[in-house]
Each structure stands twice: as structure tokens, then as C-alpha cells.
Homo-oligomer: A and B are copies of this chain.
């Protein structure tokens, strides 16, 4: 859709090499997993670990934690704030439009949606403050039909 994520262009080449960071098989595997699993999927560290083991890629849990933190700080992944029990992550990429979450505060059910006005608001806020935009996401907390009885 858009190409607003300058930071993400040429990800593996320029991104992972900044600050003397190294491109390792483990990091590639984690990133590939997120790419293959698609947008809309929210994985915990434990799940990333399980997925990699299932695909015969042996990466330690400790490395996964270290890698997830790194990828978040580099802008490749987004740490979500919608679940109970542990953090979850999702891929950010040029190919995936920014999307937003409608979250039920009772059962945790989530629906995704897109909205250009929201993205525009994020763009403006970043620009006003001299920040370089990476991504915007709106969290709408609400109560779903099944929980509102």
C-alpha cells in the first residue's frame, strides 16, 4: 500500500547491519517466520520458539527473547498491548498496511480494521514533533456482543 516506512526499506541489508549488528541465521529465521505467517498473527516468544522447533530450526528461547527485543527496537516488529499473559508481536512491513485493533476487555477477542484518517493523524503527530514515522496503531477497547450481557 504505502511506503511510509523508510526505516524498513531493504530490511536485511541495511537494517540488521546498523550499529555493528550481525545478520545471523537465527535472526533470519525469526523474521522469516513472521513473514510467512502473515499479518494479523500475534505470536508470543514461546510460540515463536515452538514454531521454529516444529520447522526443524533450533533456536534457543533466550535468543528468541533477545531477537524479539532487537527487532522491535529496529522497527521490524510491533509489540502489541492487547493480550493477557505475556507480550505478543506482529510484523511491520511495507507490504502490510497499518491496521488497528478492536479489543474486547472481557474475553480478549480482537477484530482488525483499517482507517486512513487514523494514519493521517499519526503522520501529522510525528511530523509536528520532528519524529520519523514508523507505524501507527489504534487500540479500541470495548465489550463484544457475547460479553455485554
Residues of A in contact with B (beta carbons under 8 Å apart): 7, 69, 72-73, 75, 78-84, 87, 100, 102, 104-106, 111, 113, 115, 117-118, 120-122, 124-126, 128-145, 148
Q: From residue A96, how far is it (CB to closest CB) to chain B in Å?
A: 14
**Which of B69, B105, B133 contacts A140 (CB under 8 A)?**
B133
Q: Interface majority SS on A: helix, strand, loop or mixed?
A: mixed
Q: From residue A91, how far is it (CB to closest CB) to chain B in Å?
A: 13
User: A105 contacts which chain B residues (CB < 8 A)?
Assistant: 72-73, 75, 134
Chain copies in complex: 2
Which residue from chain B places its CB closest to the CB of A145 in the assembled complex? B130
Which residue from chain B places its CB closest to the CB of A112 in the assembled complex? B125
Q: From residue A2, how far is it (CB to closest CB) to chain B in Å?
A: 15
- Tell me the bound Cα distance from A139 to B138 in angstroms: 6
- Tell me the bound Cα distance from A134 to B105 in angstroms: 9
**Which of B100, B104, B131 contacts A145 (CB under 8 A)?**
B131
